């Protein structure tokens, strides 16, 4: 699909997601190679050279981009992110949800802002929403009627079957609490 340099340049200009694994491009002036979907600034066409693999780019004297990390596969990122989120969830469960974002991020070796995005991408909710869910499950709301969602919190779509987690190793996720508005109003009146 992206065999000619013209089709590769068009895919690079448009940041075509279909080209993400099809080829790599290097910038002659910086000696850095990237994926076509890298958010970095687009170089002049005269300074761009295309490669089919990372070994070809590295043998030509280019180094990997530190932003899109083309030398690593996407599955390595996901596995590392899931491991970090699993550790953070265990910490929040043990502490009853009362763990600051900075200490969670520090314990897994990420910055708070980046960890927040990673957590939301893996779990489908923010760390604070997960902490609230943990606190609610340990509070007086436990006796109220609720609906359990059978939708998993960990997003496995796009992974090959060998990397999908089974139920025994899935990330811990408490059931989602949904209240009828009348039930919520009654509990709010009692707290006043």
Residues taking part in catalysis: 34
Count each helix (H run) and each strand (E run) in the chain, helices first. Answer: 7, 4
d(CA 99, CA 132): 11
- Hunting for tokens 């929040």 — which residue is that? 92
C-alpha radius of gyration, the chain, whole number: 23
Q: Give the CA dihedral 44, 11, 15, 119, nearest 10 degrees.
A: -130
The region that residue 4 occupies, defined by phi over 0 for left and psi between -120 and 50 for alpha, beta otherwise, is beta
Tokens of 142: 């436990």
Pick from 42, 33, 51, 44: nearest CA to 14 = 42
Distance of CA 182 to the CA centre of its chain: 36
Distance of CA 189 to the CA centre of its chain: 39
Vertex 173 angle, CA 165 and 88, to 5°: 90
């Amino acid at each position: 699909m992206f065999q000619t340099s013209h089709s590769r340049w068009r895919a690079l200009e448009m940041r075509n997601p279909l080209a993400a694994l099809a080829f790599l491009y290097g910038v002659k002036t910086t000696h850095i190679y990237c994926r076509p979907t890298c958010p970095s600034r687009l170089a002049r066409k005269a300074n761009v050279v295309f490669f089919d693999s990372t070994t070809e780019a590295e043998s030509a004297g280019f180094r990997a981009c530190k932003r899109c990390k083309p030398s690593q596969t996407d599955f390595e990122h996901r596995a590392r992110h899931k491991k970090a989120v699993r550790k953070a969830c265990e910490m929040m469960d043990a502490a009853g949800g009362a763990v600051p974002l900075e200490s969670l991020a520090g314990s897994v070796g990420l910055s708070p802002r980046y960890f927040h995005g990673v957590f939301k991408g893996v779990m489908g909710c923010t760390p604070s929403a997960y902490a609230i869910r943990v606190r609610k499950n340990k509070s007086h709301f436990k006796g109220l009627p609720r609906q359990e969602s059978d939708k998993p919190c960990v997003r496995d779509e796009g992974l090959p079957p060998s990397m999908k987690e089974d139920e025994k190793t899935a990330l811990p996720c408490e059931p989602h609490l949904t209240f009828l508005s009348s039930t919520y109003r009654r509990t709010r009146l009692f707290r006043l």
